[in-house]
A and B are shown apart, each in its own frame.
Chain A
């Protein structure tokens, strides 16, 4: 089944700590994994993305680690800031249907000052 699963549902960290958000999938045809973030009362927006040819993608304080064998990936946010408080969605582009994009249920991140 084409699904993207995220955990935890909610995560609270202190300012300066590293937040780790997890994502897993079952369909090995998934071949593009973007992460979107959404602030309250706003629309989702692309944060960072990775393709299975890489096992790591870094952009400033945000890093995706990808394990193709286990079909898992994680988003690490180092030196978390209160402004990072948002809902983070892991998404996948379906390889056999390359214009279909599905999302996980999201992780609500709260960064306390």
Chain B
């Protein structure tokens, strides 16, 4: 079965600190995504990647960086964490059909609290 593993499951960070969220998939998928979930906003796309060593900006990339060093791993980096970045973060991978993203398989999420 498809597997997307996120770490850590939860984290408390201080304002101005650096935070790295990690994601590992064993699906052999080319596409990977980072979404942020907040009450009332649904799932908002932060960064995504369609191939290793390349990332793309999503709809809300400000304050976030992404890194895709290999097909299996995709990290989200908050260089200077802020209170407004408190949220649940989901990583996902996707298979593709004809070059198009198909089903997204989500990790369990990381609950980030910035104090």
Contacts and interface: CB of A to CB of B under 8 A. Distances in A.
Interface residues of B, number: 29
A6 B34 CA distance: 21
B42 A105 contact: yes
Nearest to B103: A46
Contact of A44 (B56, B58, B90): B90
A105 B40 contact: yes
B106 A45 contact: yes
Contact of B100 (A2, A43, A93, A104): A93
B62 interface: no
Interface in A36-80: 36, 43-46, 49
A34 B42 contact: no
A100 B58 contact: yes
Interface string B88-115: 0010001010111111101111000000
A99 B43 contact: no
A101 B65 CA distance: 19
A6 B56 CA distance: 26
Interface residues of A, number: 23
A101 B30 CA distance: 14
A18 B30 CA distance: 38
Given A43-B106, A98-B100, A103-B44, 20 more contacts: A2-B59, A6-B42, A31-B100, A34-B104, A43-B107, A43-B108, A49-B103, A89-B42, A89-B43, A91-B104, A98-B98, A99-B30, A99-B48, A99-B100, A100-B56, A100-B58, A101-B33, A102-B45, A103-B43, A106-B43
21 contacts: A6-B42, A31-B100, A32-B101, A43-B107, A43-B109, A44-B106, A93-B100, A98-B96, A98-B101, A99-B48, A99-B50, A99-B94, A99-B96, A100-B45, A100-B56, A100-B58, A101-B33, A101-B45, A101-B104, A104-B42, A106-B43
